[in-house]
Structure 1
Amino acid sequence: MVGVKSGTWVCPLICLLYLLAFLQVEGDNVPMTLLKSAVAEGAVCLDGSPAAYNLAPGSGSGANNWLLFVEGGGWCSTVNDCVERKGNFRGSSNHMPPVSFSGMLGGVQERNPDFYNWNRVKIRYCDGASFTGDIEKVDPATGLYFRGARVWRAIMKDLLARGMNKAQNAILGGCSAGGLTTILHCDSFRSLLPANATVKCFSDAGYFIDAKDISGADSILSFYSDVINLHASANNLPSSCTSSLPANKCFFPQNVVATMKTPLFILNAAYDQWQIRNILVPNSADTNKTWGDCKLDIKKCSSDQLQTLQGFRTTFLNALPGAGSSSTGMFILSCHTHCQSGDADTWFAADSPRIDNTPIGKAVGDWYFGRSSAVRKIDCPYPCNSSCRKVDSNSMED
């Protein structure tokens, strides 16, 4: 009987140990670092709480390699919007939930073969302006701190002191508003690292385009103008852009990328859910409420609506860097989704979305390490790509 009990329990115990080891690197919560020392410098979230990030240390061949990934979360363009954020994780580190690392940040080699053992950092987003705002005065009536640019500098300073100043390889990436952050701060990020380091940037669902909505209005331009004015962002946008264009135009990647010096990879859905809902068909433009179902599920679009979406895809493709930009990688899927790099199922799985039978994770790795001369993959129009079935109409980060 003893032998039977022993045999009964040995396997489950071993399996449990393997499971725990797996969770430790792939699914366990990664500790959060609060930059309490930077509060005195004014580097704080909207509510005045400390800036924050999560760090999974690198090991082995990845000990001197750094992957920074900025989480998304939209923007606040009015005082009321920003006040609402103070009470949740979009504006306060006091309310930030734990995070687990997966997809591009994942720590399992089979699921993330190129970056699994790097120093992997998730930069928490709590300023509402893609880390561009900087206003000294705080209105006591609202208690709002518009200090995103200071938060960015404080996090960079802390990570450099933790070893990023010796980086051999580095990537600055992000999703949605974090993907826009990546583009806006890409060249300045590169300037912080050793001259001999290989430094590149990666934007997932952050290539928001300057386009009119279905009513012919410039809704997204007006919105971004309000964000910039509220947070006083103009002085913290890339000067290479603002030297020749108004600040509100320099919140659009298409105007910034043209002047960037650091290599960039653009991952985006041609039918990006957020852009369709907020750029092409904002509620203000859909006065008859005929787009509700289509915006949620592309399979429910009418033939006329699909034609409009195909026109938006063309506008999006025309806003991308031209073929002459050899350092710019692209992976433009025909999926109806938003953000695809943070999930193991879409990053590097057997059934993840693909172009030319290449998953996202492999395309990004090939581009970063130069395993392919040019990684510029642009999908055919919807509904040609059957691999999109897993992500079409999935939930969005923003």
Structure 2
Amino acid sequence: MGCSWALAALVLGFLVVAVHGSEPWLNQTQVYSTNANSGSNGVFVGITLIQSAAAKGAVCLDGSLPGYHLHRGFGSGANSWLVNLEGGGWCNDVKSCVFRKSSRRGSSNHMESQLQFTGIMSNRPEENPDFYNWNRVKVRYCDGGSFTGDGADASAGLYFRGQRIWQAAMDDLMAQGMRYANQALLSGCSAGGVSTILHCDEFRGLFSGSTNVKCLADAGMFLDFVDVSGQREMRDFFNGIVSATVHHVMILLFVMTVTLLLHGSGRSLPRSCTSRMDKTSCFFPQNVVPNIQTPTFILNTAYDVWQLQQSVAPKRADPQGLWRGCRMNHASCNSNQLQFLQGFRNQMLDAVRGFSGARQNGLFINSCFAHCQSERQDTWYAGDSPRLGNKRIAEAVGDWFFDRADAKYTDCAYPCDGTCHHLTFRGDY
């Protein structure tokens, strides 16, 4: 009987991470197909572990040191800094976080020693015309809470120290010369896009008023959306991240207590939001962006495939499998499903309407079935990259950052855009 309980707990841990704690199509073993070549000749950059972090309690889920990859700028970009916050889903309970801490998403012991910089991180002008010679930094993500948590669970060997990791990384980069930046851009995709939005004004506060500071959030607009079963999957999940409540579950056969201590991220969320809304609502970017003071660019697809698979039509909400084909390939969606997805697009556009009205902000919302477009070479800047207003994403972002032109692009509804690089899947999640 004991073995059965242990096996069930292990299986549940795997399932929670498979659904919530990772983004399978962003892992090294790609499981999607796309209609374009995403190859790049970008440089490989070694990892730097932040040695001063341990003394600050700024550690990964497993207690290991956090780290980043820094490729120095040169020439006209020698004093310009691009800081990219890595994405990779979340964990919201002990089971999923324990599983996560044995991976690169929760431990620097499992991180790659080198990463290739592509897309907005590339060092080649033909791949990244505006930022190729900047100081470019990839801050590794190992806390599972979008760099916001501040707590621990000693019994499970878990450290929820995302906010401390953020501060330790910024302190180290400032000492590396970022304090002298004449311009700086904070970016990230997916969970890193959420991190970018939540930390944007904090990032600007690191610099003097003479530094040109802006933020770019890619695929970070996770919506508080009602799924196909009428539930709010993402709200339930995010509540587990921001709460600081301790629950106890008694497993009578073992006479033991499992403590579910969550991230406690609510304390780190922007006061501009938590002063008027509950903390869970303030983990949703749609409720934070209206009050961001720093110029920000939102890059998102109107049919984000992560949200389609995990929050719009998750398997839990689709017990009969009616959405399985649509989740895997947009071409398999029937007319009713497409109509439902148009409602998701409409909510996305409503969420950014006020934001886009501010002159300082930029916007690129295309009608593609994709997720994360700034770090993939084929979608960032290539001959056949997605376009709006005849602008590739890299060109639109560059126009916005350098004030070359107004950069607010919103696509017509699917299937009107023939420039998309849609993602399709070889496995169902």
TM-score normalised to structure 1 length: 0.90
- Kindly report which structure 2 residues correspond to 1:177-326, keeping only aligned pairs within 5 A, or say none: 177-229=191-243, 230-322=262-354, 323-326=356-359
Deviations 1:23-54 (A, max 9, x none): xx943420110012211211000000001100
Q: 2:41, 2:108 → 1: CA distance?
A: 23
Distance 1:185 1:175, change over 3 A: same
The amino acid across from 1:328 in the alignment is: N
Tell me how large the CA RMSD over aligned residues is: 1.6
Matching residue of 1:393: 424
- Kindly report which structure 2 residues correspond to 1:62-141, keeping only aligned pairs within 5 A, or say none: 62-97=77-112, 98-135=114-151, 137-139=152-154, 141=155
Deviations 1:92-126 (A, max 9, x none): 01101231001000000111110000000001000
Task: Show structure 2 runs of 5+ residues with no match.
Answer: 1-39, 244-261
Matching residue of 1:379: 411
Kindly indicate which of the two structures has a greater share of residues assigned to strand: 2
Q: 2:381, 2:141 → 1: CA distance?
A: 25
Secondary structure of 2:160's partner?
A: coil
Q: 1:194, 1:118 → 2: CA distance?
A: 19
How far residue 282 of structure 1 moved from its aligned partner, in angstroms, is 1.7
CA contact (8 A) 1:321 1:328 kept: no
Q: 1:194, 1:56 → 2: CA distance?
A: 23
Q: 2:353, 2:168 → 1: CA distance?
A: 31
Secondary structure of 1:120's partner?
A: strand
Query: Between Structure 1 and Structure 2, how many residues are aligned?
Result: 369
Matching residue of 1:350: 383
Deviations 1:341-377 (A, max 9, x none): 11221111110111122100000000000000x2110
CA contact (8 A) 2:219 2:372 kept: yes
Deviations 1:231-274 (A, max 9, x none): 01111000111011110000011111111100110000000001
Matching residue of 1:17: none
The amino acid across from 1:164 in the alignment is: M
- Is 1:44 the counterpart of 2:59? The answer is yes
Deviates more, 1:363-372 or 1:303-312: 303-312
Distance 1:394 1:198, change over 3 A: farther
- Is 1:143 the counterpart of 2:157? The answer is yes
Percent identity over paired residues: 52
From 154, 167, 171, give the equivalent of 2:185: 171
CA contact (8 A) 2:43 2:123 kept: no
How far residue 284 of structure 1 moved from its aligned partner, in angstroms, is 1.8
Q: 1:36, 1:26 → 2: CA distance?
A: 31
The amino acid across from 2:214 in the alignment is: K
How far residue 311 of structure 1 moved from its aligned partner, in angstroms, is 1.3
How far residue 138 of structure 1 moved from its aligned partner, in angstroms, is 3.7
Matching residue of 1:9: none
Task: Show structure 1 runs of 5+ residues with no match.
Answer: 1-24
How far residue 393 of structure 1 moved from its aligned partner, in angstroms, is 2.7
The amino acid across from 2:328 in the alignment is: L
Kindly indicate which of the two structures has a greater share of residues assigned to helix: 1
Q: 1:28, 1:116 → 2: CA distance?
A: 11
Matching residue of 2:11: none
The amino acid across from 2:295 in the alignment is: P
Q: 1:74, 1:160 → 2: CA distance?
A: 27
How far residue 180 of structure 1 moved from its aligned partner, in angstroms, is 0.4
Q: 1:247, 1:177 → 2: CA distance?
A: 17
TM-score normalised to structure 2 length: 0.84
Matching residue of 1:339: 372
Matching residue of 1:364: 397
Deviates more, 1:174-183 or 1:339-348: 339-348
How far residue 195 of structure 1 moved from its aligned partner, in angstroms, is 1.1
How far residue 394 of structure 1 moved from its aligned partner, in angstroms, is 6.8
Q: 1:301, 1:218 → 2: CA distance?
A: 21
CA contact (8 A) 1:35 1:52 kept: yes
- Is 1:61 the counterpart of 2:96? The answer is no
